[in-house]
Amino acid sequence: MIEIVFLLEEPSAKAMIEGILPKIILEININVRYIIFEGKQDLEKQITRKLQGYNNPHAKFIILRDQDSGDCQVIKTNLQQKCKDANKFQSIVRIACRELESWYIADLEAVEKAYNKTNISSQQNKNKVSAQ
């Protein structure tokens, strides 16, 4: 059986993945596990130890971390090195650039700020369907 382990910065990332995953993975024989950290600093601090302690040699790891204000390449390289340090070469690191959650939960003010646009957030509370 295939095992995919997500190492996530926060619980909201798990909720997002749980909503998307069934739509993109159709194979039944996949075991999905989640290791959730208490923010990016906790993830950075504990990830090597968590990876080293994972005993399934066939597990594949996906690490997801927000970019926040950091350099995307530096963050990714750092996490990739931590995977190598833990001898987990079956790892994929993905950095959620900008404010991914803002798109997911439709926070138009956050989208406006992230892309330096104006007049987007004013659309937030408008009805999409007019009642007749």
What are the chain's domains? 2-115 (3.40.50)
pLDDT at 93: 94
Which of 76-90, 102-116, 117-131 shows the highest mean pLDDT? 76-90
Q: Specify whether the CB–CB gap between 8 and 36 falls below 8 A.
A: yes
pTM of the entire structure?
A: 0.74
**Burial, 41: exposed, middle or buried (Cβ in 10 Å; 0-12, 13-18, 19+)?**
exposed
pLDDT at position 118 over 90: no
Residue 129 has a pLDDT of 42
14-69 confidence digits (pLDDT tens): 988 898 888 777 777 889 999 999 999 999 999 999 999 998 988 999 999 988 88
